[in-house]
Amino acid sequence: MALIRARMFSKCLRRPVRFTAVVPYDGMFLPPREGRPFKTMYLLHGYMGNNSTLQLEGWPVGEWAQRFDLAIIMPEGENHFYVDDLARRDFYGEFIGRELVAMTRRLFPLSDKRGDTVIAGLSMGGFGALRNGMKYSDVFGHVISASAANVRDELASSTDEPNAVGATRGLFTSIFGDLDRVEETDRSLDGAARELASSDRPRPDIFFGCGENDVLKFPNRHFRDTLVSLGIEHEYSEAPGTHEPAFFIPFITRGLERALPALPEAPNPFLIDKD
Amino acid sequence: MALIRARMFSKCLRRPVRFTAVVPYDGMFLPPREGRPFKTMYLLHGYMGNNSTLQLEGWPVGEWAQRFDLAIIMPEGENHFYVDDLARRDFYGEFIGRELVAMTRRLFPLSDKRGDTVIAGLSMGGFGALRNGMKYSDVFGHVISASAANVRDELASSTDEPNAVGATRGLFTSIFGDLDRVEETDRSLDGAARELASSDRPRPDIFFGCGENDVLKFPNRHFRDTLVSLGIEHEYSEAPGTHEPAFFIPFITRGLERALPALPEAPNPFLIDKD
Amino acid sequence: MALIRARMFSKCLRRPVRFTAVVPYDGMFLPPREGRPFKTMYLLHGYMGNNSTLQLEGWPVGEWAQRFDLAIIMPEGENHFYVDDLARRDFYGEFIGRELVAMTRRLFPLSDKRGDTVIAGLSMGGFGALRNGMKYSDVFGHVISASAANVRDELASSTDEPNAVGATRGLFTSIFGDLDRVEETDRSLDGAARELASSDRPRPDIFFGCGENDVLKFPNRHFRDTLVSLGIEHEYSEAPGTHEPAFFIPFITRGLERALPALPEAPNPFLIDKD
Amino acid sequence: MALIRARMFSKCLRRPVRFTAVVPYDGMFLPPREGRPFKTMYLLHGYMGNNSTLQLEGWPVGEWAQRFDLAIIMPEGENHFYVDDLARRDFYGEFIGRELVAMTRRLFPLSDKRGDTVIAGLSMGGFGALRNGMKYSDVFGHVISASAANVRDELASSTDEPNAVGATRGLFTSIFGDLDRVEETDRSLDGAARELASSDRPRPDIFFGCGENDVLKFPNRHFRDTLVSLGIEHEYSEAPGTHEPAFFIPFITRGLERALPALPEAPNPFLIDKD
């Protein structure tokens, strides 16, 4: 199992970016993986986080990598919702959907098949997974979104006063552009879904959901309704829980089980079946 | 929440060592922690691992740090069972019990009280936690050991043929010294317990256990019997499970709940109580 | 010599930030440093870089740390010129001048004396060192700026077309605010100098310069003229060289030699004086 | 320019190992490097160091990578002189000469030609470069060794008293095996050279040297005499300097200039030719 921290230059962002990768190369007890491209999950963190947040919260990325024979790539989104900032020309969306995929496929032996390529995330990263999974559906065959921060109401109601997470209308405008028109653009989930519906791009397999005790379930239900009205297939799921790792992590596991076959468990030399 | 990767020079090992630290300094929603020394857990990884193994396996170190107001220090043991190598003068035990504690107390605002200082680990690290918790009981007030690799039978039966994890009599001799006499020394758990029993050092609070389906339960039970016969207080616990993170992690959580008070949960701004 | 990579939460930037620190704790041949606060240099990287850039370019931070008994802290500026972004409320300047200093003084035993505290940088970081050294002169007693990217002409002449480094009028406006008025604000070097001149804040010791073959010498000379006209003491120096590490690194060394006493060289057990 | 920190599992050492890699992928001003395997230098650190030591000392690895179109791989040797430890079955030599090369060629697009593959190092790493460059000359076409720690006298005269760097006869025996017979084995430079001379393996291009004021010049001259007597071609060079980065770094640069063609310098958009 390789753990890789990479710093590479991004033309989309005009500066070095970092990502962490877990790649299920062979270990002591694993057969070699030579000659076989890996399935891949691009996993996007939430607002006020970076890729270390997943580490602090105990995301079992090595377990997933081994169980699903899966490379996991964790980039950073810098509170930018993984959408292009047109005023600054900081292309956070294109970075995820194009440049990062190209970088990592050059660096690791990754499959370039849509069906082997997953985009996933939680909260702001769940927003980014849905948005970029729809926009770059030629790349990503599966979308797994836990508790997406579909912040349409927050954008509409934002003011010059910082909200609970320090965001103002100025910040949101810098990220999303003209807030009165953002729903018309692919920087909103509804806009990205309409664009997908009217395009001839392939439809990704979309699995998303939210905790029953999470205020974000309302905008997630709104987006479900949008997909229904547009005729875009998807699976939406609610379960007990709120906006926390104890909900996010099993949700992503469910999404992986749904999207990818699991390998048989490796033999455990310590196991005794009975006493 | 600070995540720190440090590389410092160790005189015990005559070369740079690495450790990872999680320190619950204030975050966006946390009150500042100024002027208050932190409780500390030194957390030791297992054989064939290093401190990244805990990251790959999804150990929730940030959650523990926040919940127990706890700094967590994760050093590396390089397959050396956290005992001194007298032939090479590589003092892995003294490194853990003395030098690392001094280093980290200089670097971070850590409490120097025994009752605030925990040594914990799994497998080889569970061995190291028991052994060094007993040997340096002036430093560590609490020991939490999950599925300790109490390898007494493996030492006795080792040969020149590598065993399932590549270990030979030569390797074990290099680590533990003369294998026919290791049980007489504090490089064995029994020896370290006898030394503790006959000393006037304080007795640490010892919590250890093993999975019911883990072959290591037998040498753990042996060590429990040793503690009973020596009159050293302890708590021993078995539960369903085998030699894997799904057993280790909840076991360490139980140990922390037993040893330290939990903070009240931080308010979750996303929580809704009912729909 | 400790090398520390830290990830801490910044309230100024509402997300985790990273910095690298080098701290001259004792090594194999060094006497212990207990009980003595360290002098500190905050070292700012350039445009299109991050703190790994200094590593790739071979900046001798360990040598400086040992020679000048100096902790070196290397934060990241994300192409933002180390000035506050008022529209987004991303306070890059306040982060450097206040929050980072507080964070690192809590983490390490750093002197809080102005005379022991240096801010330095190259190119965009040289701009940031001058600007924040003047603005937070209650914190920083010494400024060392190599080849400052004093981009006043670039701001004035920017258009919607990306320039050679991908910057547009939109990007500059996002960073500096209204470009027609930036010279009136402390987000320009001239503005920050005027503010310093009219304040009762202490004057920092300013050492700056540029390569004779670097086009940035012209705006550096302009700033020198501003300082002269405002009566702010400083030392300005040009020398052969262009915009590259071969100029920056010796320039910073000269600045350190000028600002701080060097320790006597450690004895070298390999040295022979004659054959 | 990619900077990569990798943690992979080593079967030779039965545990995770770390290495740092610099790979000259395209940057902002660099043309893409697609479809072209990179030349590679494996660069070995010295005693009491690890791969961060090179960073602290300011090794210009990014400059070399760009100038020579070269991937640079920096593994860790843990005071073990890069030779196999037969008693422990810790195969540090085989790790460098076989496993690391295979790992990194799987991970990055590296040339597998001998003429494109350099092994280099300083002090203990200079010893490791010479020893493994000779032993694995089917892999490495070029050897660059600065100030090799050819410790034959230290082995012969070692006692139970730690020497200036903490080494005892016990440590050396653990690393090199029976010290009375080490010169007969390929764990000595003379032994490895004799083995090369009597084999039909290809001869590597060997460039080595030492500072005139470094006590290690004597055992380096001894090894030069050995090569002469065995008829193994090489270039040996002394120059003013002692055992320090100020000698090592320019020496490795000279070795690279000797072994590999330099790319034309990238255009510097800041350069002015005259004032």
Provide ipTM, 2 decimals.
0.93
Cα(B101)–Cα(B42) distance, integer angstroms = 9
Query: What are D25-69's pLDDT values in tens digits?
Result: 766 555 555 557 899 999 999 999 999 999 999 999 999 999 999
Query: What are B19-42's pLDDT values in tens digits?
Result: 999 998 766 555 555 556 899 999
Query: Do strands D235-239 and D205-211 pair parallel, antiparallel, or not at all (unpaired)?
Result: parallel
Place of tokens 């929050």: C99
Kindly identify which residue of chain D lies nearest to residue A24, measuring between CA atoms.
D8
The predicted structure's pLDDT at residue A114:
98
Q: Is a pLDDT exceeding 50 seen at residue A161?
A: yes
The percent of residues in chain D predicted with pLDDT above 70, rounded, is 95
Q: What is the CA radius of gyration of chain D?
A: 19
Best residue in D22, D272, D273, D275 for a mutation probing chain C (most C CBs within 10 Å) = D272
Contact B42, B1 (CB under 8 A): no
Contact B248, B146 (CB under 8 A): yes
Q: Is a pLDDT exceeding 80 seen at residue A28?
A: no
Mean pLDDT lowest for which of A103-107, B242-246, C71-75?
Answer: A103-107
Query: What are B95-105's pLDDT values in tens digits?
Result: 999 999 999 99
Phi and psi, residue A246, nearest 5°: -60, -20
Place of tokens 């339960």: B217
The predicted structure's pLDDT at residue B246:
96
The predicted structure's pLDDT at residue A33:
55
Cα(A254)–Cα(A207) distance, integer angstroms = 9
Please judge whether C2 and B2 are an interchain contact, meaning their C-beta atoms are less than 8 angstroms apart: no
Q: Is a pLDDT exceeding 60 seen at residue A35?
A: no
Q: What is the CA radius of gyration of chain B?
A: 19
Cα(B2)–Cα(B27) distance, integer angstroms = 9
Please state the rounded mean pLDDT for residues D235-256.
97
Work out whether the CA dihedral C80, C85, C90, C91 comes out positive or negative: positive
The predicted structure's pLDDT at residue D275:
47
Work out whether the CA dihedral D121, D125, D127, D129 comes out positive or negative: negative
Query: What are C124-145's pLDDT values in tens digits?
Result: 999 999 999 999 999 999 999 9
Chains touching A (at least 3 CB pairs under 8 A) are: B, C, D
Please judge whether C271 and D56 are an interchain contact, meaning their C-beta atoms are less than 8 angstroms apart: no
Q: Which of B14, B49, B174 sits opposite D16 (nearest CB)?
A: B49
Instruction: Give the pTM.
Output: 0.96
Query: What are B99-124's pLDDT values in tens digits?
Result: 999 999 988 889 999 999 999 999 99
Cα(C250)–Cα(C245) distance, integer angstroms = 8
- Binning pLDDT at 50, 70 and 90, where does residue D108 land? confident
Contact C176, C187 (CB under 8 A): yes
Cα(C65)–Cα(C69) distance, integer angstroms = 5
Question: What average pLDDT does chain A have?
Answer: 93
Cα(C186)–Cα(C134) distance, integer angstroms = 9
Please state the rounded mean pLDDT for residues B75-93.
96
The predicted structure's pLDDT at residue C275:
47
Tokens describing residue A150 = 């579909």
Please judge whether C25 and B106 are an interchain contact, meaning their C-beta atoms are less than 8 angstroms apart: yes
Please judge whether A28 and D11 are an interchain contact, meaning their C-beta atoms are less than 8 angstroms apart: yes
Query: What are C42-91's pLDDT values in tens digits?
Result: 999 999 999 999 999 999 999 999 999 999 999 999 999 999 999 999 99
The predicted structure's pLDDT at residue A275:
47
Q: Which amino acid, B43?
A: L
Cα(D114)–Cα(D184) distance, integer angstroms = 27
Residue C265 touches partner D, C-beta closer than 8 Å: no
- Binning pLDDT at 50, 70 and 90, where does residue A29 land? low
Tokens describing residue B47 = 């054989």
Give A269's contacts in chain B (Cβ within 8 Å).
Answer: 164-165
Q: Is a pLDDT exceeding 60 seen at residue D13?
A: yes
Question: What average pLDDT does chain B have?
Answer: 93
Q: What is the DSSP string of C37-105?
A: PBEEEEEE--TT--HHHHHHHT--HHHHHHHHTEEEEE---TTSTT-EETTTTEEHHHIIIIIHHHHHH
Please state the rounded mean pLDDT for residues D114-132.
98
Residue C52 touches partner B, C-beta closer than 8 Å: no
Half-sphere exposure of A45 (CA within 13 A, CB side): 25
Which residue, among A216, A243, A236, has the nearest Cα to A152 in the 3D structure?
A: A216
The predicted structure's pLDDT at residue C31:
54
Please judge whether B28 and A22 are an interchain contact, meaning their C-beta atoms are less than 8 angstroms apart: no
Cα(C183)–Cα(D125) distance, integer angstroms = 54
Work out whether the CA dihedral D243, D249, D251, D252 comes out positive or negative: positive
The predicted structure's pLDDT at residue D7:
95
Instruction: For residue D209, give the 3-state DSSP assignment.
Output: strand
Contact B140, B112 (CB under 8 A): no
Q: Is a pLDDT exceeding 80 seen at residue B199?
A: yes
Please judge whether A268 and B242 are an interchain contact, meaning their C-beta atoms are less than 8 angstroms apart: yes
Please state the rounded mean pLDDT for residues C211-229.
97
Q: Which of A61, A213, A275 sits opposite B271 (nearest CB)?
A: A213
Chains touching C (at least 3 CB pairs under 8 A) are: A, B, D
Residue C26 touches partner D, C-beta closer than 8 Å: no
Residue A37 touches partner D, C-beta closer than 8 Å: no
The angle at the Cα of D263, spanning D55 to D274, to the nearest 5 degrees, equals 90
How many CB atoms within 10 Å of residue B273? 6
Please judge whether C48 and A15 are an interchain contact, meaning their C-beta atoms are less than 8 angstroms apart: yes
The percent of residues in chain D predicted with pLDDT above 90, rounded, is 85
Q: Is a pLDDT exceeding 80 seen at residue C262?
A: yes
How many CB atoms within 10 Å of residue D261? 9
Chains touching D (at least 3 CB pairs under 8 A) are: A, B, C
Spell out the residues 6+ positions from residue A53 whose beta carbon is closer than 8 angstroms to its own.
Answer: A45, A46, B62, C16
> C74-112 burial by CB neighbour count: b if 16+ within 10 A, else e?
bbbbbbbbbbbbebbbbbbbbbbbebbbebbbbbbbbee
Residue D166 or residue D122, greater confidence: D122
